[in-house]
A and B are shown apart, each in its own frame.
Chain A
């Protein structure tokens, strides 16, 4: 176990709705990264949060947004859900400026959009 937790485990939403996913980082880690993993693919980077600010973003539209709180936990918000947003959403915890860049994943949230 990595100590990274995510909620909820599973979620079913309808196209056009909005969703919020939550992540608590491993103790001592101050950085949270979010990834989307479609079936049969590797994780794709969405964005990273450090010191409550976005610290890098992948090729995802603005309807994907996030927050980080003072306790380093984080939220991923997705507006105007599309069918292609169905995926496993992973958050990864790390320690900023640690040269090795190791990231540890939570169990993920499986989102299904119908």
Chain B
């Protein structure tokens, strides 16, 4: 069974700190990995995608992928109250569907 496990949270960090979100997946054929942000009552918004081992940076966000360990993470630097949301990791085979974790709720405390 294809599974995605996320650190359960909830996670609280002070404003300006680094928030670290982690995800492990069970299927070694995974090719694509994604982080979505979901505000309460809204739909998921794609914020990062990563396909190769290593780090990928986009502004305050850095995604890290380690395929050997089946592990993907998201770091949010200089966390802001507007980053408070549920973060969903997802993986796909590049074909049809995405498999999602249950999400980690992040609260950034001013």
Contact = CB atoms under 8 A, between A and B. Distances in A.
For chain B, the bracket of interface size reads: 20 to 34
Interface in B8-39: 31-32, 34, 36
B51 A108 contact: no
Interface string A37-72: 000111111001000000110100000000000000
Given A56-B95, A90-B44, A101-B94, A42 B102 contact: yes
Interface in A55-114: 55-56, 58, 88, 90, 92, 99-108
B88 A42 contact: yes
Contacts of B45: 2, 105
Interface in B87-110: 88, 90, 92-103
B44 to A, nearest CB: 5
- Chain A interface size, as a band, is 20 to 34
A25 interface: no
A44 B99 CA distance: 7
A90 B43 CA distance: 7
A104 to B, nearest CB: 6
A101 B102 contact: no
Given A42-B101, A45-B97, 4 more contacts: A33-B96, A43-B88, A101-B31, A106-B43
Interface of B: 4, 31-32, 34, 36, 42-46, 49, 51, 88, 90, 92-103
